Chain A
């Protein structure tokens, strides 16, 4: 039996949709950028090289949770995985930001539309006969997004530390600032803004309350996060670009493509 807009009773219109605008543009851009990012980050995560150029650590490799990392003085490394881990240490830590973004309410919209065509655009029919949304495994797991948020806060804290130690020069003396410091700083600000503008964060700080009047402080936080939250999409993209650029910058400096320009 025909389903969807062809279901019995509905207006029998032959065209699957009648949109005349460029509705395919947004999903196409999403797919292009996300695919590009996946290719880039896969290459960098497996590379296991050129991720440290004193005093800069690539955000893809911080913190290092295995023992096979380059020596990175003062970085927030914790070799929890010991020395049996032979692969790139980035693979361990990247699971957390990956999970955070994969279960993010905004990225979900982006990839459901872009990769799954579910739907590609509003009033453009889905190319499938059945749909259960986020009611079944595995998509029901999206409900665990908040746990990734908790990890993401820790990771953002560590990346903040990486910025702090980027104010030392290559001999470990404080009072340095190079272009790399600025790049890492910009990245960490965007990461924080993205992380704090999270819908789960908005819920946790105050959204879950029934009575704001009984919790004036949480109400304030909720208002702050709500304001950031309206920019969540923009922050999601901006921080995706910034994290890749920060890594690329460290790669360039570490592999000797150019020297880090120093301000002082």
Chain B
């Protein structure tokens, strides 16, 4: 069963742009990305959109649908009523390139700021031995598809351009948590999380968790545990003393 849907799609570039109206056919079982593709094929051949897998696994098609950050390829048309107008815009935290395509290099820069996995000195690749229970916890974070929807939604940088310098965003604070929980990582991640990546800016309002298409519990399992680890190091004299006396982690 097909019907005509009303779409408003943002068209423009870094200098200017507008929400443009389209009426476009929708068929059963389709997702928003299908409709964007139909627009390209029929009415707007120059509409720019980034996509790859159409299976929610490459993280390319991030955008905002009716004001909510989502993957275009994982948003079913059946979640909307046939009458409503569906608005599609690019992510509003990153610089726009054209139409629905944004420049997400902010995230690459932040990724590079996190020192990579640091095994104990003298331990060569191939000699790593670890227990399943010790690596399990951080496996969840490895489901990340780098769609940057969490980064886009986080109000710390979405609403305050100035904070981009100091704050690495949920994706990379989660990366730091992953390494800090890794049984063989020896780098000091805790002080860095607070001092260099701005963990203190996060006010745990959970928007990153709300939008993550992989349903990673970013706030509960990465950010809050990391805040607690930072509190151990920086705000808790008792733990600090205990760790001085006894060294078994």
A-to-B contact residues, CB < 8 Å: 3-5, 7, 9-13, 17-21, 105, 108-109, 112-113, 118-119, 122-126, 129-135, 139-140, 143-146, 199-200, 202-203, 207-214, 219, 229-230
Contact = CB atoms under 8 A, between A and B. Distances in A.
B203 interface: yes
B155 A126 contact: yes
Interface of B: 10, 12, 14, 16-17, 19, 64, 66-69, 84, 87, 89-90, 92-96, 102, 131, 133-134, 137, 153, 155-156, 158-163, 180-183, 198, 200-207, 210-211, 220, 224-225, 227-232, 234-236, 248-249
Closest 7 CB pairs of A and B: A18-B67, A19-B67, A135-B200, A122-B207, A9-B95, A133-B201, A203-B228
B92 A10 contact: yes
Contacts of B93: 5, 10
B158 A208 contact: no
Nearest to A232: B220
Contacts of B227: 143
Contacts, number: 167
A214 B248 contact: yes
Contact of A210 (B66, B67, B181): B181
A144 B131 CA distance: 33
30 contacts: A5-B93, A5-B158, A11-B102, A12-B17, A13-B10, A18-B67, A19-B68, A105-B204, A108-B204, A109-B205, A112-B203, A118-B203, A119-B159, A122-B69, A123-B64, A123-B67, A124-B67, A130-B160, A131-B155, A132-B201, A133-B198, A134-B203, A135-B201, A143-B230, A143-B231, A200-B228, A210-B134, A210-B183, A219-B133, A229-B220
Contacts of A219: 133
B102 to A, nearest CB: 8
A133 B203 contact: yes
A213 B231 contact: no
Contacts of B159: 3-5, 119, 125-126, 131
Contacts of B220: 199, 229-230
B148 to A, nearest CB: 14
Contacts of B68: 19, 21, 122-123
Nearest to A141: B235
A100 B38 CA distance: 54
Contacts of B92: 5, 10-11, 13, 123
Given A13-B19, A212-B133, A118 B229 contact: no
A107 to B, nearest CB: 10
B131 A211 contact: yes
A12 B235 contact: no
Given A123-B207, A131-B156, A133-B201, A213 B229 contact: no
B211 A122 contact: yes
A18 B224 contact: no
A134 B166 CA distance: 13
A126 B68 CA distance: 15
Contacts of A113: 205
A12 B133 contact: no
Nearest to A216: B133
A134 B201 CA distance: 5
Given A133-B203, A144-B235, 10 more contacts: A3-B160, A4-B161, A11-B17, A13-B17, A19-B67, A123-B64, A123-B207, A135-B201, A208-B232, A210-B181
